[in-house]
Amino acid sequence: MCAVAALVLLLLTCPDKKAHQDKIKSVILNYTLGDEVNTLGGALGSMLIGNAADIYLENNLVYHNYLLFSTCQLPANQGDKTVSYGVLNQIFTFDNEDISNAISNVN
């Protein structure tokens, strides 16, 4: 009975593509702007980088739903790079530099 409840819980809390996209976008913003987000220039940069990140992720992020968990990949020169895992409504991303490298090494 507990195993069935655990499976149902995992099925109901598998994050969708939008959740992955939002988390990866926040990682990109934190990596590129750091502490400058609270300044006027940082706010403008955040808006511009955020819009660019949304467009890029919408067009390039590949979402895989495995029912119990999900992953997202970005294309890179040496094949697709997994940049996030999602389970129980939580998104876990790789190191900021890994995401930055995946974005900068697009074919």
Cα angle vertex 30, ends 94, 98, to 5°? 25
pLDDT of residue 77: 75
Residues 11-42 pLDDT 10s: 999 999 999 999 999 888 887 777 665 565 66
pLDDT of residue 94: 81
Amino acid at 47: M
The parts of the chain modelled with pLDDT lower than 70 are 35-43, 98, 100-107
The candidate with the shortest Cα–Cα distance to 60, out of 80, 44, 33, is 80
Percentage of residues in the chain with pLDDT exceeding 70?
80
Residue 66 · residue 38 · CB < 8 Å? no
Domain ranges of the chain: 2-104
Cα–Cα distances (Å) from 89 to 18, 28, 70, in that order, read: 12, 20, 10
